[in-house]
């Protein structure tokens, strides 16, 4: 039952609203002054405060401010005369959720409260869902990032993972599309089902068709027994089709039928079988161009591209490089039993300046090589491939952008190094705690 606090220095109005809302099934308490309302807020929890704007001594703005201090999650709705609407609008900038103009009709109060409580319920469910997804993600493979662009991608993943909608991953080769697909599966309700993956460009057309749809014994020469295709094996789980742009037209037509009917027919069979899959596809090609050229079916494109996630190349998220470097150095140092602590300043500048056309896949390869070759505790420029030192003609970032990237990475590295202890991080950086909070907010660093 939702709890409502009604505040008005006119007792008759308080009683009238209490009678109205109690009849709607709400648990209602009243206060005839701002001071009395604050005392109640100190002692009890309320979902919504419905307060008059104009009151003696502590007015509605004062009640709003105290409510935000004592119970930030409580919604505050202001009641005001028409002449004070401007003040009510200004109060919304201070955190008020809505306002109602006097004289009001009962239905207006009912509808405003219902809408407010529904919005609060949806926000609460969204927070709970994100916590659940975060919990499930703990057991999944991870991606190391600090960039805002990757944070937006994972915010989107948290929103779409619980759904059944098909997802198309776009991005250059080596950006981690297959890993993103596995993470989506891992945090989805299908996490306990199978995750089946196939690269459409790596398998010949005839073999790809039998791998996906399966076949009956005797369907073709060499079919000595029945084979269950990946579409049926993935039943109840996720099927990931990498390089979907290279799928032959005949296979595209059969896949479209599966998506439209939820039925799959193995080669050489006359009976279709039901299948329940969540399809994730990926490509580094221009599917719009392939559609115009007649190489990709437009109707299939709209089936697979319900949700589109575009993964940026590493050159567009260079703030991720220091964290990726730390991650891969530890991984490959452990594998090769070497005591490598990290990069020299010059070596780090070298990897930051390089454009990484092969993206994270190339980056991991370079770091593994450097770890193997490094003679000391720090990777030096000489441990890196010579191509990294060649200057390329790319538009330089502004000095301000470069300083922001450096400052953000410095904060993240110190924050993680000190166990996410803000006071210790501030001391290590030589700044006060208030400055650290301000910079974390500026750079979107989660606390």
Please report the pLDDT score of residue 129 as a whole number: 47
Separation CA 87–CA 90 (nearest Å):
5
CA torsion sign for 195, 200, 201, 207 is: positive
Contact assessment for residue 96 and residue 88, using Cβ atoms and an 8 Å cutoff: yes
What's this model's pTM, rounded to 2 decimal places? 0.58
Separation CA 183–CA 199 (nearest Å):
18
Among 86, 87, 51, residue whose Cα is nearest residue 68 = 51
Task: Locate the DSSP E strands across 33-96.
Answer: 48-52, 75-81
Half-sphere exposure at residue 194, Cβ-oriented, CA atoms within 13 angstroms: 14
Please report the pLDDT score of residue 256 as a whole number: 96
Q: What would the pLDDT profile of 342-370 be if each residue is shown by its tens digit?
A: 999 899 999 998 999 999 999 999 999 99
Contact assessment for residue 106 and residue 100, using Cβ atoms and an 8 Å cutoff: no
> Is residue 402 very low, low, confident or very high in pLDDT (cuts 50, 70, 90)?
low
Q: What would the pLDDT profile of 301-348 be if each residue is shown by its tens digit?
A: 999 999 999 999 999 999 999 989 999 999 999 999 999 989 998 999
Same fold: 148-312 with 316-443: no
- The CATH code that applies to domain 3-125 is 3.40.50.2300
Domain ranges of the chain: 3-125, 148-312, 316-443
Question: Which is the CATH superfamily of the domain at 148-312?
Answer: P-loop containing nucleotide triphosphate hydrolases (3.40.50.300)
Please report the pLDDT score of residue 83 as a whole number: 53
Contact assessment for residue 363 and residue 314, using Cβ atoms and an 8 Å cutoff: yes
* pLDDT for residue 435 is more than 80: yes
Q: What would the pLDDT profile of 107-152 be if each residue is shown by its tens digit?
A: 888 888 888 888 777 666 555 444 444 444 555 667 788 888 998 9
Q: Which two tokens stand for residue 146?
A: 């600090």
Separation CA 15–CA 6 (nearest Å):
9
- The CATH code that applies to domain 316-443 is 1.10.8.60
Please report the pLDDT score of residue 88 as a whole number: 67
Question: Highest mean pLDDT: which of 56-70, 235-249, 384-398?
Answer: 235-249
Share of the chain above pLDDT 70, in %: 91
Kindly report which listed range (16-25, 101-110, 197-206, 326-335) carries the lowest average pLDDT score. Answer: 101-110
The SS3 of residue 138 is: coil
């Amino acid at each position: 039952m939702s709890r409502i606090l009604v505040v008005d220095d006119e007792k008759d109005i308080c009683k009238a609203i209490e009678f109205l809302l109690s009849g709607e099934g709400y648990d209602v308490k009243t206060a005839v002054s701002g001071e009395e309302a604050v005392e109640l807020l100190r002692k009890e929890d309320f979902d919504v405060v419905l307060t008059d704007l104009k009151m003696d001594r502590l007015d509605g703005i004062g009640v709003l401010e105290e409510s935000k201090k004592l119970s930030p999650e409580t919604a505050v709705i202001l009641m005001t005369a028409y002449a004070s609407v401007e003040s009510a609008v200004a109060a919304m900038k201070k955190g008020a959720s809505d306002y109602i103009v006097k004289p009001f009709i009962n239905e207006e109060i009912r509808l405003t409260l219902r809408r407010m409580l529904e919005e609060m319920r949806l926000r609460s469910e969204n927070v709970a869902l994100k916590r659940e997804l975060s919990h499930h993600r703990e057991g999944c493979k991870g991606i190391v990032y600090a960039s805002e662009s990757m944070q937006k991608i994972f915010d989107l993943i948290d929103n779409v993972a619980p759904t059944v909608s098909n997802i198309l991953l776009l991005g250059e080769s080596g950006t981690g599309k297959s890993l993103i697909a596995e993470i989506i599966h891992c945090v989805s309700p299908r996490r306990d089902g199978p995750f089946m993956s196939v690269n459409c460009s790596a398998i010949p057309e005839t073999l790809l068709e039998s791998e996906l749809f399966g076949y009956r014994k005797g369907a073709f020469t060499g079919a000595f027994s029945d084979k269950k295709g990946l579409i049926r094996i993935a039943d109840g789980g996720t099927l990931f089709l990498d390089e979907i742009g290279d799928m032959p037209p005949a296979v595209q037509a059969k896949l479209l039928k599966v998506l439209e009917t939820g039925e799959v027919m193995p080669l050489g069979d006359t009976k279709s079988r039901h299948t329940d899959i969540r399809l994730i596809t990926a490509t580094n090609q221009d599917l719009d161009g392939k559609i115009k050229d007649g190489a990709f079916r437009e109707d299939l494109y709209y089936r697979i591209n319900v949700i589109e996630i575009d993964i940026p190349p590493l050159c567009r998220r260079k703030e991720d490089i220091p964290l990726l470097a730390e991650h891969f150095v530890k991984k490959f140092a452990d594998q090769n039993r070497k005591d490598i602590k990290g990069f020299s300043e010059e070596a780090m500048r070298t990897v930051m300046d390089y454009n990484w056309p092969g993206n994270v896949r190339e980056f991991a390869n370079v770091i593994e090589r450097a770890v193997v070759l490094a003679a000391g505790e720090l990777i030096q420029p000489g441990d890196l491939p010579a191509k990294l030192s060649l200057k390329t003609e790319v538009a330089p970032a502004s000095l301000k952008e470069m300083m922001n990237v450096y400052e953000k990475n410095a904060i993240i590295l110190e924050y993680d190094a000190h166990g996410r202890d803000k006071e210790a991080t501030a001391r290590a950086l030589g700044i006060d705690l208030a400055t650290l909070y301000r910079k974390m907010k500026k750079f979107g660093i989660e606390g």
